[in-house]
């Protein structure tokens, strides 16, 4: 089968023939219908050494963790699924039986094998092996493209859950990439009153408005705190860092009010410097949000199916294998595009 293969940091991915996956006990194999490129894929392909805090990808890695597909093979001992069903899955294969797995946080399972980070191949391929315990059915109302958005929606939902948002509160979302946009969508859904989104890219700020932002701030033109005060009358109750580059967490501390809450969702893979005294004197509550609970995947699927949320504005387009390596490189610098999906 064909797959987009990583060989070395700084080198573009190549489309190659690789071995077909097969289902072991408890597994499924799916034919990938759509797989989104995530900002973390772009970052991971640039990680050279341990200074990032992440293990560099081994040569031969197939990334891709935001996918929807159709089951083509059912492994031994799997009763819950059959060939032909449309599904998505959390991108790891865990034991399915320990306390972590049974409560929906299988990424903390001691036996979890991560797909798409080098331990097992991911979804930038024609086929992929997934764990039945991590798999979720896609109902008719969630087509393949929406199905590939479940994972980024769950990331943002996990972050918004960490904020313990109360109805009527004001939020500031730093960064209008897919996660920032999904964050705006969830804040709107859960009753935030003012949802202010920052970015330096006008095209993305326009998307933010379609995804639930009530105001946008172009950081190249406007002062963020001044804009918040003019628009909402005060600083935001919650600041979400959906940027994930050095300096972003300090900015979040600077923007937050006394006693404010910060949720860091952006994955910063470089050393960063903060001034803790700022967080201390403001008595900030700072939360880090990583991955998602199974229940967050379920809610994202259910609400899309019932048309109660619509993340489709963040979809920029689809691409074939032939276009994939070039577009993957372009996305590292061109921030006018948002979510691009590989259709193998």
Binding site for Zn ion (CB under 5 A): 38, 94-95, 98, 101, 109
Shortest Å, Cβ 226 to Zn ion = 33
Q: Which of 34, 39, 21 is nearest to 242 (CA)?
A: 39
Which of residues 100 and 219 has its CB atom nearest to Zn ion in the complex? Answer: 100
Distance separating alpha carbons of residues 341 and 320, to the nearest angstrom: 9
- Strands 135-137, 86-89: pairing kind: antiparallel
- Residue with smaller CB distance to Zn ion, 169 or 241: 241
Q: Between 101 and 262, name the residue whose CB sits nearer to Zn ion.
A: 101
Q: Are 163 and 284 in contact (CB under 8 A)?
A: no
Q: Show Cβ contacts of residue 276 under 8 Å, excluding neighbours closer than 6 positions.
A: none
Please report which residue ranges of 59-201 form alpha helices under DSSP H. Answer: 99-102, 144-147, 150-162, 178-189
Least distance in angstroms from the C-beta of 261 to Zn ion: 23
Tell me how far, at minimum, the Cβ of 321 lies from Zn ion, in Å: 20
Q: Quick one: 107 or 255, whose CB is closer to Zn ion?
A: 107
Quick one: tokens of 168?
Answer: 């009527």
For residue 101, report the phi and psi dihedrals to the nearest 5 degrees. Answer: -60, -45
**Min CB(106)–Zn ion separation in Å:** 6
- Which lies closer to Zn ion via its Cβ, residue 284 or residue 299? 299
**CA 230 – CA 189 distance, rounded (Å):** 24
Whichever of 174 and 253 has its CB closer to Zn ion, that residue is 174
Q: Which is nearer to Zn ion, 1 or 98 (CB)?
A: 98
Other Cβ atoms closer than 10 A to 270:
13
Q: Angle of helix 248-255 relative to helix 224-232, nearest 10 degrees? A: 40
Kind of pairing between the strands at 194-199 and 170-174: parallel
Q: How far is the CB of 92 from Zn ion (least distance, A)?
A: 10
Least distance in Å: CB of 62 to Zn ion?
A: 15
Q: Distance between CA 113 and CA 93 in Å, rounded?
A: 5
CB of 81 to Zn ion, least distance (A): 19
CB closer to Zn ion, 3 vs 38: 38
Long-range pairs of 192-196 with CB within 8 A, sequence gap ≥ 24 = 192/165, 192/167, 192/168, 193/167, 193/168, 193/169, 193/232, 194/170, 194/231, 194/232, 194/236, 195/170, 195/171, 196/170, 196/171, 196/172, 196/227, 196/228, 196/231, 196/232, 196/236
DSSP-H helix ranges across 119-223: 144-147, 150-162, 178-189, 202-210
Q: What is the token pair recorded at 175?
A: 């960064």
95 vs 251, beta carbon nearer Zn ion: 95
- Rounded distance, CA 148 to CA 217, Å? 28
């Amino acid at each position: 089968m064909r797959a987009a293969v990583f060989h070395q940091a700084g080198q573009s991915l190549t489309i190659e023939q690789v071995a077909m996956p097969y289902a072991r006990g408890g597994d499924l194999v799916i034919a990938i219908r759509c797989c989104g490129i995530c900002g973390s894929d772009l970052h991971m392909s640039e990680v050279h050494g341990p200074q990032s805090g992440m293990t560099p990808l081994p040569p031969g890695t197939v990334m891709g963790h935001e996918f929807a597909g159709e089951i083509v093979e059912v492994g031994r001992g799997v009763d819950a699924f059959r060939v032909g069903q449309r599904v998505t899955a959390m991108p790891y294969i865990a034991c399915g039986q320990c306390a972590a797995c049974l409560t929906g946080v299988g990424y903390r399972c001691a036996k979890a094998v991560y797909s798409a980070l080098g331990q097992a191949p991911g979804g930038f391929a024609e086929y992929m092996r997934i764990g039945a315990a991590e798999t979720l059915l896609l109902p008719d109302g969630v087509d393949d493209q929406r199905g590939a958005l479940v994972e980024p929606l769950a990331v943002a939902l996990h972050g918004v859950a960490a904020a313990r948002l109360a109805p009527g509160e004001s939020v500031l979302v730093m960064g209008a990439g897919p996660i920032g946009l999904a964050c705006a969508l969830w804040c709107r859904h859960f009753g935030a009153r003012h949802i202010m989104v920052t970015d330096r890219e006008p095209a993305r700020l326009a998307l933010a408005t379609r995804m639930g932002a009530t105001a946008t701030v172009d950081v190249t033109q406007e002062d963020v705190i001044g804009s918040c005060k003019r628009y909402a009358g005060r600083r935001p109750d919650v600041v979400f860092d959906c940027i994930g580059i050095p300096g972003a967490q300090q900015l979040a501390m600077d923007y937050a009010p006394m006693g404010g809450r910060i949720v860091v969702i952006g994955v910063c893979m470089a050393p960063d410097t903060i001034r803790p005294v700022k967080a201390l004197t403001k008595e900030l509550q700072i939360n880090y949000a990583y991955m998602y609970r199974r229940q967050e995947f379920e809610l994202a699927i259910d609400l899309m199916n019932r048309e109660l949320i619509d993340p489709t504005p963040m979809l920029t387009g689809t691409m074939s294998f032939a276009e994939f390596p070039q577009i993957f490189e372009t996305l590292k610098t061109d921030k006018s595009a948002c979510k691009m999906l590989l259709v193998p």
